[in-house]
Structure 1
Amino acid sequence: MESTHVIAITNREEDNIRKENKMFQFQLPPIISQLGKNEVHCLSTITSNPRHKQMHRDQDTRKIIHCIKVGISLVLVSLLYLLNPLFKQVGENAMWAIMTVVVMFEFSAGATLGKGFNRGLGTIIGGGLGCLVALFAQSIGIHRVGNSIIIAVSVFIFGSFATYLRLIPSIKKRYDYGVMIFILTFNLVVVSGARVNVKVWELARERLLNILIGFIVCVCVSLFVFPLWASNELHDSIVSRFLDLANTIQGCLGECTKTIDEKENQPRFSFNVCNSVLNSKSKDESLANFAKWEPWHGKFGLSYPWGRYLKIGEILREMAAFILATGRCLEASKEPMATLRESEWVHLETCEALESKVACILRELGDSIKKMMKCDAEGCVSEQLKAAREDLSFIISTSKMAQLEDAQVLAIATFVFLLMELIGKVEELAKEVEELGDIAGFRTPIPAFS
């Protein structure tokens, strides 16, 4: 939420305040709104939401933990080089273990497991096929030219086919990295096998062993040293959007209870939350994909319905779009909205009650997901939304709209239409949350007894 502080500054104190503003300009930028004879009025918009500050601190802490975990993994895998007994076993191929840690270790445990699985699968399949093709070329290709032709043809066929697989959306979504590793491993093994004196099976075995060591180090550190779960991040991100959009709705619809003079004397309401929600699709899909790789942990079991979170996130983005459109409608239709506020047949309590109901429902739905408790979409939520629709129907009554001009009717009708669509999205969201509770096995809330 945003808060506005109005500070009166006399002319004698003006120079001192300007110096202080220069020092703290990057934290609290002042907006000078009025110059009077004896004072200067400064409006400072401060985005000091404690919940957002806590989220940023938690995110910074997770980043530090991730950096430390990567450092631990690199130290452990470097022991293959630093300790002579281990170096004698793996030799120069220890570089593959270090490379595996560098390219495989990701921020969340799910991303690390997914990448590790893809790397292991691509290495095994690519190395196995590469060995077979190399041995076949050495046995069939009696002359050096025949050996090279067989290897070149196999590289072309398998490389082209694997590249085509990377273009298929369903494979690219979860196995793109594995297919890329397959191409790399196959080419390294089969081209190395072009030399007769190279032991193909020994080469493939050593590289696979070192990659396996790097994989084990990454997985163990990721899962057992302060694990960072993509599922927790997706869950908390969805919950926070419910609360953010509820606060935005109260701030947006609260504009219709203000007069034009009040709007001009106050800073413009920010819709940064809506823009952030609209740009959250790629993040949600990545987190959901990583969460599917994660094992059972905490409150999330196996085969948890992460696809439902993506559906809820999609509806939240649509809702953010309607909130943004409603806010722009209020800004562009100051005169018609003033007529709506000043009319005898519409009371300010109508908008206040509407914003209160919609925001309250969003908070209840977000709290339901956060606590993993079932919500009653058919009961309490439907009744509240029905009452909100009746309030809007009262505003666009034909007998009363006939008293207004065409421009005013169009502006008010557009505003009410957007609110109707917004309520429809809330109703759709309530049904999705209820279905999520049924599939995920949310607990039934204990009824309160008076």
Structure 2
Amino acid sequence: MGSTIIPIPDGDWEKDIKEKRKFKFSCFPTTISFLEENKVYVRKWIHSIKVGVALVLVSLLYFLDPLYNEVGDNNAMWAIMTVVVIFEYYAGATLGKGLNRGLGTILGGGLGCLAAILAQKIGGIGNPLIVGAAATYMRLIPSIKKRYDYGAMIFILTFNLVSVSGLREENVIQIARERLLMILLGFAICISISLFLFPMWASDELHDSAVSRFKDLANSIEGCLEVYFRFVDAKESQQTAQQPKGNFDKCKSVLQSKAKDESLVNFARWEPWHGKFGLFYPWEKYQKIGEVLRELAATILSLEGSLLSPKEPWQNLRESIKEPCEAIGSTLAWTLRELGESIRKMRRCESEISIVPKLKSVREDLHEVMCPSKLGKLEDTDGLAMASFVFTLMVIAEKVEKLVKEVEELGELAGFQQN
């Protein structure tokens, strides 16, 4: 039988292979961009998988007969409960909660055993009552409640369980020791997975969120000034010149960041050395910077009334201060971005050389804008409204100067590198 020869054009197969390779590698940038855009959801899935792995490992106490026969049903349950209770999203939160649970269990179990032995010897239930009341009172102290509330709760719970069970059980010390070992086993599994398997650091999120807020507020200042003086170039009417909500959405999110900052700072304090953050990094300075950022955001939000005011009657008056105000806004926005970059790169900002002179020039320009020759008579309604707008810019400049000092202190305490 004769063979059939199928002609293949020269170069087509090479072209097909190149196209396939091109398509294959072109998928990587798309995948990376998708992961960046959905970072929050990806991290949530990673956390869920980590919790599942921890539960599978601790469940081996039930699945493997030698381990089950060794620890027993009741004690194995304490290990599973420990994993479920202390495994948190951030590594610092898991470590802090685990240490609180371990310390509370040890102290509560030890004192509970002592109370149980005394109760068996001399009788009475006065000791658990006194110790439990004292521990509950200490739990209400703000400094203890802020960082050790969970440990105090576990102490009270463990102390009462051990001391009360000691009235009926003779081997209370052995029971306490076995349960403590199971709790330590669950704690070890949680910490190992949380720290070494795609760790989620609260310190990184606190650091990155602080940097992003500087940029957001800088954009808000520029956006507000753009809207306020837009009529000069576009000659828009009152109906078409509407305030973009995006200018204030970021400010509102900054105002609502206090609770998140406090929790992230608390978690970051528990985290071990990692990456660019040492053991004694001054996380409390991020709280101070966050407070000033919230004050600045509230001041920027106060400009909303000026943006909603009618524009047509004030065109000439606004046009007279347009150029200096826009220059002032650009300087303030530039300063905020410089401060954010200083924190992001962990380097000292040359405030005395570049930032302070520009802020001083801003103050001089604002005082010049406030003169009656530019704003008109203060008795005039338009003049008062414009003076209020310029005065708000002065307050914003003061908040930015305060931020410069806070970032400088952060750089000194954290040991930021010099340029």
TM-score (norm 1): 0.81
Deviation at 1:329, TM superposition (A): 2.7
Query: Within 5 Å, which residues of 2 pair with 1:48-447?
Result: 57-92=38-73, 93-141=75-123, 150-151=124-125, 153-195=126-168, 197-259=169-231, 261=236, 264-270=239-245, 271-332=248-309, 334=311, 337-342=314-319, 346-403=320-377, 405-445=379-419
Deviation at 1:263, TM superposition (A): 5.9
Task: State the secondary structure of the residue aligned to 2:109.
Answer: helix
Residue pair 1:312, 1:432 contacting (<8 A) in 2 also: yes
Residue pair 1:257, 1:351 contacting (<8 A) in 2 also: no
Which position in structure 2 is the counterpart of 1:41? none
Amino acid in the other structure paired with 1:304: Y
Residue pair 2:375, 2:387 contacting (<8 A) in 1 also: no
CA deviation string 1:174-193 (max 9, x = no partner):
00000000111011111111
The size of the alignment, in residue pairs, is: 381
Q: Equivalents in 1 of 2:297, 2:80: separation in Å? A: 45
Residue pair 2:321, 2:369 contacting (<8 A) in 1 also: no
Higher strand share: 1
Amino acid in the other structure paired with 2:240: N
Q: Equivalents in 2 of 1:440, 1:372: separation in Å? A: 8
Deviation at 1:337, TM superposition (A): 4.9
Residue pair 1:126, 1:186 contacting (<8 A) in 2 also: yes
Q: Equivalents in 1 of 2:177, 2:183: separation in Å? A: 10
CA deviation string 1:202-251 (max 9, x = no partner):
11011101100000000000001011100001000100101111111111
Pick closer, same or farther for the CA change 1:159–1:180 going to 2, 3 Å: same
Q: Equivalents in 2 of 1:109, 1:252: separation in Å? A: 39
Q: Equivalents in 1 of 2:113, 2:309: separation in Å? A: 69
Q: Equivalents in 1 of 2:91, 2:400: separation in Å? A: 33
Q: Equivalents in 1 of 2:316, 2:145: separation in Å? A: 55
Deviation at 1:341, TM superposition (A): 1.7
Moved more, 290-299 or 405-414: 405-414
Higher helix share: 2
Q: Equivalents in 1 of 2:312, 2:120: separation in Å? A: 85
Q: Equivalents in 1 of 2:345, 2:96: separation in Å? A: 28
Q: Equivalents in 2 of 1:383, 1:66: separation in Å? A: 47
Moved more, 393-402 or 278-287: 393-402
User: Structure 1, unaligned stretches of length 5 or more?
Assistant: 1-51, 142-149, 446-450
Task: State the secondary structure of the residue aligned to 1:274.
Answer: helix
CA deviation string 1:295-319 (max 9, x = no partner):
1000001100101111111110000
Amino acid in the other structure paired with 1:210: M
Task: State the secondary structure of the residue aligned to 2:89.
Answer: coil
Amino acid in the other structure paired with 2:38: R
Amino acid in the other structure paired with 2:86: M
Residue pair 1:242, 1:365 contacting (<8 A) in 2 also: yes
Deviation at 1:436, TM superposition (A): 1.0
TM-score (norm 2): 0.87
Residue pair 2:101, 2:154 contacting (<8 A) in 1 also: yes
Amino acid in the other structure paired with 1:268: Q
Q: Equivalents in 2 of 1:207, 1:334: separation in Å? A: 73
Deviation at 1:262, TM superposition (A): 5.4
Deviation at 1:333, TM superposition (A): 5.8
Deviation at 1:409, TM superposition (A): 2.5
Residue pair 1:73, 1:101 contacting (<8 A) in 2 also: yes
Deviation at 1:354, TM superposition (A): 1.6
Deviation at 1:351, TM superposition (A): 2.3
Q: Equivalents in 1 of 2:145, 2:37: separation in Å? A: 32
Residue pair 1:330, 1:337 contacting (<8 A) in 2 also: no
Amino acid in the other structure paired with 1:237: S
CA deviation string 1:346-369 (max 9, x = no partner):
242222212211111111110111
Task: State the secondary structure of the residue aligned to 1:264.
Answer: coil
Residue pair 2:238, 2:312 contacting (<8 A) in 1 also: no
Query: Within 5 Å, which residues of 2 pair with 1:36-55?
Result: none
Pairwise CA RMSD of aligned residues?
A: 1.9
Pick closer, same or farther for the CA change 1:174–1:74 going to 2, 3 Å: same
Moved more, 201-210 or 324-333: 324-333
Residue pair 2:359, 2:401 contacting (<8 A) in 1 also: yes
Residue pair 1:256, 1:351 contacting (<8 A) in 2 also: no
Q: Equivalents in 1 of 2:314, 2:260: separation in Å? A: 37
